[in-house]
A and B are shown apart, each in its own frame.
Chain A
Amino acid sequence: MKNAWDSVLDNQKKVMDFWGNMAQQMTPNTKKAEAPADMFTQWMEQQKSVWEQWMKGMKPEDAMTAMPEQLRQWAEMQQKFTEQFVEMYRENAGKMGLGMPQMDMSAFMPNRMMEENVKNWKNWTQSSEKWMRDAVMAKMPFNMQPHYSNFIEFFDDVQRYWEPFSRMIQNGIFDKAMVEKYFDQNAYLKVVNQLMGFKPVGNVTELIDSVNHYFEKMMGQMGDEASKWNTVSDTWRSKMSEVFSGSHAPLLQFGNDINNRLRDQLTPFFNIAAQGRETEIAKLMRDVQFSYISFILKTSELQSKVYDAGQYVLPDLLRAYYEDYQKTKEMPDFQAFLHKYINELENSILTVLNADEYSKLQSEIAALGASIKLKSDKATELVLADMPFLTRSEGDDFAQEAAALRKKVRSLEQRLAALEQHLGAEAEVVAAESNGAAKTRRTTVKK
């Protein structure tokens, strides 16, 4: 299988042969005294010899590593010569009855050729990286694959920023505002979401509007009696939009309070509404709706805390690397930089995760999420009532029966064990007594 290095060599050989043939065809007829065949041949031989010398006794990989500067100079020489050659060829080809060669002329530009080859290398390594990732993914358990995909996305995203980060380190750009010109807030939020496995809430106002829309639709089912809803709902929406225009955590708390207050205000309506399955469903849906809004708001607040915690990590890190660079003039490699960034970011985030406020908020979110599921399940059960399905509640009955049976069986087992122990102890006593009697009897007999 050919690798990228073989392709560099092949390409080079092709160019060399082309030069050789072209020079032989052209020079006998050329009018240009300054371009004799032997000059070309000599030049080409020199080039070949230089190339061979480089390769001699050295693995191509080592040559690439050892002589990047020579390669660059060689490429420049080639390019200059090529330009002269092509110029001369254009002037003389027609006179020689030759057409322009049926090859991509860029291939004769060694600098471009090198660029092409570097591009090939990059493509190849990217492909191999993708292949490696796919191969690993295929061997992973299905429920770990999303984590790995998430990581890949994160890694590729951050790698794209490595070049600007490098320049920032070299040039001492670490002011937060300046850093954000390259690595803006959206990029930062994306990285944190990828690392923490967050599903970003996104635009809270839009989300609440869409929840409102659904809410209005649901309330529409309640008919004319629900006229009060429009007023409350409109008020609610306008308040929400007002509050969330800044999307800052304390405002989110405030919004949540409003949400809860409105829920309380709406409760009397349901208390006087007609009874029945539809009303029950509507009540549950209303609760789901409000719980969902709370869930969104609190999730957004929690995520904001995490985002806030890590926002200075990158500027601080760039500053630290800049200071090192000033002393050593050595740049970190991407992996080292990324490791450091992740460690520092984790430390900052852990400070937040350790806070009482975070712990309580996280608990509220978990409870809200679970309650939404519970209420939705109940509403679904009501919708599906009388249908030939085993509902969660019915399944629950079986589980309770099973639990009660387990308890009874265990109790019986314990009583049985106690009885066995008791009988065993009695049997031992009887055996001991009868042994004792026998001994006594024997003794008696002897006497």
Chain B
Amino acid sequence: MSHAKALSEQIIERVDTAAEALKNINDIQDVDIATAQREVVWNDGKLKLYHFHREGEAKAHTPMLVSYALVNRWEMMDLQPNRSFIRKLISEGIDVYLIDWGYPTKIDRYKTLEDYVLGHINDCVDVVRQRHNLQKINLLGVCQGGTFSLMYSALFPEKIKNLITLVTPVDFDNEEGLLFKWAKDMDVDAVVDGFGGIIPGDFLNTGFDLLKPMNKTRKYMALPDTMKNKATLMNFLRMERWVADSPAQAGETYRRFIKDMYQHNKLIKGEFKLDGRTVDLSKINMPILTIYAKDDHIVPPATTKPINDLVSSKDKELMEFPGGHIGVFVGARSQDLLTPAIAKWLVERD
């Protein structure tokens, strides 16, 4: 191709892109996120328990409580109307509750894993049980929130009807993921104490960014194309907003999680205790659905798959999602395949 032709093509492409982008960006007034209708049905300090609005009867009689990770925010699960894990579950007939952990501040530096699992999750489970006058409800845990859900279900199996873990690490003794390798070497005491007991969200994000150091560059390189289409532009801006919204973590919880999980793998060994009570995963006897993402670089499949071997449930299923950690919530396949499969699994066991 001659230089002149290449130049003219480049110019024309840029003119087209700029014209489309002008229109698209000017149309955007607000980068809204997590717009599914919901109400706060209970709160405890910074924690809020949401119940998502639904029209008509749920197909499953038993409601489902979602326990998200302490890393980043749950809004990923309702990124935008056409890419919403939560909306899709609701449309598939599931009654959804969700725990919003809030934004820890310095007063929370001594908040422990016990506070989260035995305190907050237990309180929320009880609230939902009382609201529906049920002995047992369904629990869905996401990533670290899934590890919490496993701990909780092992200690309170009488309150959980069905358990779903989504991209949840349980076997931390592997080197498939960089995060698992780095966490083993981390001087977590120095980090927690140095940060004054509250781990900044930016510190955590920097670690996640380094797992795929060029991802940001790729994302921004694609921006001219992204801007040609308003929907993709909005999706980009929403993701940016979600990534940027990274809460700090309570230092003591972080310290314990890194030490007991990443460094000593205590949960899988049956050595992990909460308030003196051993968390024995074999006490999990309810139906369990374990979902992992095939290309997950944050929680690789090898860290998730052993879950089903550790529980005593007779009804257990391992489901592979073709995508990455984030794709589980926002990808097209999540909408088309994963959420309908989860809803079906729950309805069948209702």
Contact = CB atoms under 8 A, between A and B. Distances in A.
Nearest to B119: A410
Interface in A381-403: 392, 395-396, 398-400, 402-403
A362 B182 contact: yes
A102 interface: no
Interface stretch (A9-17, A35-43, A127-135, A274-282): A127-135
B194 interface: yes
Interface stretch (B4-12, B49-57, B342-350): B4-12
Given A128-B14, A374-B196, A402 B107 contact: yes
B338 interface: no
Interface string B146-187: 000000000000000000000000000000001001101111
A366 B15 contact: no
Contacts of A151: 216-217, 220-221
Contacts, number: 181
Contact of A354 (B106, B178, B227): B178
Contacts of A406: 111, 115, 119
Interface string B224-245: 1001000000000100110111
B37 interface: no
A132 B227 contact: yes
A367 B9 CA distance: 52
Contact of B107 (A3, A136, A374, A399): A399
B176 to A, nearest CB: 11
A68 B5 contact: yes
Contact of A121 (B11, B26, B218): B11
Q: For the complex, would chain A's binding face be called helix, strand, loop or mixed by DSSP majority? A: helix
Nearest to B225: A335
Contacts of B40: none
Contact of A141 (B10, B110, B241): B241
B209 to A, nearest CB: 7
Interface string B1-45: 110111111111011011001100110100100000000000000
B244 A370 contact: no
A338 interface: yes
A71 to B, nearest CB: 7
A364 interface: yes
A125 B13 CA distance: 10
Interface string B204-226: 00100110111011101101100
Contacts of A118: 7
Interface string B275-310: 100000000000000000000000000000000000
Interface string B179-205: 001101111001111111100001000
Given A141-B240, A407-B114, A346 B214 contact: yes
B191 A366 contact: yes
A369 interface: yes
Nearest to B5: A68
Interface string B48-81: 0000000000000000000000000000000000
A30 to B, nearest CB: 37
Contacts of B213: 195-196, 346, 349-350, 353
B291 to A, nearest CB: 26
A396 to B, nearest CB: 7
B109 A396 contact: yes
Nearest to A375: B194
A370 B107 contact: no
Contacts of B21: 132, 135
B118 interface: yes
B112 interface: yes
A406 B186 CA distance: 29
Nearest to B2: A68
A343 interface: yes
Contacts of B10: 125
Given A71-B4, A195-B214, A129 B107 contact: no
A155 interface: yes
A94 to B, nearest CB: 40
Contacts of B18: 125, 128-129, 131-132
Contacts of B92: none
Interface in B246-302: 252, 275
Nearest to A63: B8
19 contacts: A61-B12, A68-B2, A122-B11, A129-B14, A132-B18, A154-B217, A155-B221, A195-B213, A197-B206, A330-B1, A339-B218, A349-B213, A359-B184, A371-B193, A373-B195, A392-B196, A399-B109, A410-B118, A410-B275
Given A342-B214, A356-B185, 15 more contacts: A64-B11, A68-B5, A71-B4, A72-B4, A140-B244, A141-B241, A151-B221, A196-B213, A346-B213, A360-B185, A362-B185, A370-B195, A371-B193, A372-B194, A414-B118
Q: Name the 7 nearest CB pairs between A and B, nearest first.
A: A370-B194, A68-B4, A403-B110, A141-B244, A367-B190, A367-B187, A128-B18
